[in-house]
Amino acid sequence: MSESITAPTPAESTPVEATETDHRNRPRSKAFVDFITSGWAPRADLGVRPGAAIPFSAARRARLAQELPGARLVVPAGSLTVRSNDTDYRFRPHSAFAHLTGLGTDQEPDAVLVLHPVEPGTGDDGPDGPTSHHAVLYVRPLAARDTEEFYADARYGEFWVGARPSLDDVTTLTGIEARHIDELRDALAKDVGDGVVLLVVTGSDDEIETLVEAIRAEAGAEDAAAGELTDADLVRATSELRLVKDELEIEQMRHAVNLTIEGFAEVVRALPRAVAHRRGERVIETTFDAHARLEGYAVGYETIAAAGEHATTLHWITNDGEVHEGDLVLLDAGVEADSLYTADVTRTLPVSGTFSDVQRRVYQAVLDAADAAFAVAKPGVRFLDVHEAAMKVIAERLEEWGLLPDGVTAEVSLSEQGQQHRRWMVHGTSHHLGLDVHDCAQARNELYREGLLQEGMVFTIEPGLYFKADDEAVPAEYRGIGVRIEDDVLVTADGVENLSAALPRDPDAVEAWMASLRD
């Protein structure tokens, strides 16, 4: 990586004085500045075309505006985050911003979507006609080539990161009016404290939150609307907006899942190399992650590549252990598509290609629990009922194996006062899935955990059993075995569709599939 230049403020073509801590090897003469900012041909057209998400994101914004009438809604994309010193993490916009604009990958750091309240019926078009809000996307457009940003700004300059889209490009791509980020402050402050409530999605951009708080303070509206509407209401609304996926979202979820299935096949092919390497788990991780980066944007979360006893640690992401013949390896991974929708799939695979008797016994119990969850999942059923169906099978199987404490039956364990079976599966069976791996996390409990399944929802079914190596409550033959089976499901009119069904689940099918990939 070339040495970076700290981001300066745009300036005219004049030399910049160095400081005693400025170690950059950059010419500073006026002759250099004049020369590097002149003699350029007109910029090539970036080839921006209207995005496929335009009608879908417009409908989402209309629904959000309907829920929070009269409020100015501020949805930041977020800013670049420092990884170390003067290097940044790869940018990913906040999920609410991506959902409401249709922008994915690393597009538009520092951008802010604002839904301005207008006279009802005069706003942007929605599925039911004109809405009560007008959306504006405030962005940092491409700087002119006679500015210092062009050649000296390591974060935004064209010389460093390539040409940014123009305001017209942004509008073409998103269908949203684009304005310069410099106009944001005045736009946010208009009429605040005089009938307009200013709300911001928190947790995305500290600078924008600070700006919003300052504007409220200046207007004497620090408490937003005297407790009637708060930032938390906007955060909740943007989260609940994603509980039911639209047609485009479902298409993107299918795409992410299909890419993930391909990645699992790549891992199986790499298992011999993993066995031979001192960090075999890292071979598995990097095999999947490389596939995700090649075919999508990235992984949707840190890949869990847990072999042997590591599979009993639910979120094992260190991935530095050895992989041995005879082990099970638990791979929990998901490709995040360029649209930022992610899959979340888990399979527990026998490294040698064949399950041992006790491994198969545990695996089959987990599979039966998953199948029980599938059987009850349909519109009108509580989200929690899916978990309870899986837990019933887990508890019954543990009782059958004699692993529950003396005198504790499956029925007793399943009671609210019992729950002994949860020693071996402390996590829930399902979570919503979409732009976030744990999507809709700020939704109200009555719409999530206690909510009813609706057609168009996408979530996981992922029971497991985890017997740690030092667990003296189980016989030695179980110790060190961790099994999880996770699929991504779409609620249909009369049940659910397993989006990840192409990845074998049955133990015999798993063995046959692995053998076919090794031939």
CA distance 282 to 304: 10
Tokens 């929990």 sit at which residue? 332
Task: Note whether 392 and 430 are same-domain residues.
Answer: yes
Task: Note whether 216 and 338 are same-domain residues.
Answer: no
Amino acid making up residue 122: T
Contact 154, 2 (CB under 8 A): no
CA distance 359 to 382: 32
Task: Note whether 253 and 223 are same-domain residues.
Answer: no
Task: Note whether 328 and 179 are same-domain residues.
Answer: no
Chain segment 221-261, per-residue pLDDT in tens: 876 544 589 999 999 999 999 999 999 999 999 999 999 99
CA distance 281 to 322: 6
Q: What's residue 228's pLDDT?
A: 82
Q: What's residue 221's pLDDT?
A: 80
Residue 85 buriedness (CB in 10 A; 0-12 / 13-18 / 19+): exposed
Contact 100, 205 (CB under 8 A): no
Structure token digits, residue 392: 């019933």
The answer to whether residue 504 sits within a structural domain is yes
What Å distances lie between residue 397 and 367, 413, 450, CA to CA? Answer: 12, 12, 26
Question: Greatest CA span in the chain, whole angstroms?
Answer: 88
Contact 261, 244 (CB under 8 A): no
Q: What's residue 18's pLDDT?
A: 59
Domain boundary among 225, 240, 255: 240
Task: Note whether 190 and 305 are same-domain residues.
Answer: no
Amino acid making up residue 149: E
Q: What's residue 10's pLDDT?
A: 40
The answer to whether residue 330 sits within a structural domain is yes
The answer to whether residue 163 sits within a structural domain is no
Task: Note whether 293 and 230 are same-domain residues.
Answer: no
Tokens 């409530």 sit at which residue? 197
Q: What is the DSSP letter of 176?
A: S
**Secondary structure in 3-state letters for 356-417:** CHHHHHHHHHHHHHHHHHHHHCCCCCEHHHHHHHHHHHHHHHHHHCCCCCCCCCHHHHHCCC
Task: Note whether 107 and 200 are same-domain residues.
Answer: yes
Residue 151: name the closest of 33, 18, 14, 17 by CA.
Answer: 33
Query: Using CA of residue 310, residue 311, residue 317, residue 323, what is the dihedral sign?
Result: positive
Q: Given the DSSP bridges, would you call strands 87-88 and 82-84 parallel, antiparallel or unpaired?
A: antiparallel
CA distance 261 to 418: 38
Helix pair 507-518, 247-276: axis angle to 10 deg? 70
Q: What is the DSSP letter of 463?
A: -
Contact 140, 99 (CB under 8 A): no
Task: Note whether 223 and 327 are same-domain residues.
Answer: no
The answer to whether residue 19 sits within a structural domain is no
CA distance 51 to 43: 22
What is the residue range of 468's domain?
Answer: 247-518
Task: Note whether 233 and 268 are same-domain residues.
Answer: no
Task: Note whether 195 and 293 are same-domain residues.
Answer: no
Residue 462: name the closest of 500, 495, 431 by CA.
Answer: 431
CA distance 497 to 459: 11
Secondary structure of residue 17 in the 3-state scheme: coil
CA distance 216 to 232: 16
Task: Note whether 270 and 383 are same-domain residues.
Answer: yes
Amino acid making up residue 142: L
The answer to whether residue 300 sits within a structural domain is yes
CATH of the domain at 71: 3.40.350.10
Domains identified in the chain, total number? 2
Domain boundary among 214, 240, 266: 240
Q: What's residue 227's pLDDT?
A: 53
CA distance 283 to 271: 8
Q: Which H helix or E strand runs over 310?
A: none
CATH of the domain at 417: 3.90.230.10
Task: Note whether 127 and 187 are same-domain residues.
Answer: yes
The answer to whether residue 15 sits within a structural domain is no
Contact 74, 181 (CB under 8 A): no
Tokens 């090897």 sit at which residue? 25
Structure token digits, residue 52: 């496929």
Query: What's the residue count for the chain?
Result: 519
Secondary structure of residue 94 in the 3-state scheme: coil
Q: How many C-alpha atoms does 113 have within 13 Å on its Cβ side?
A: 31
Q: Which H helix or E strand runs over 337?
A: none
What residues of the chain score a pLDDT lower than 70? Answer: 1-24, 223-227
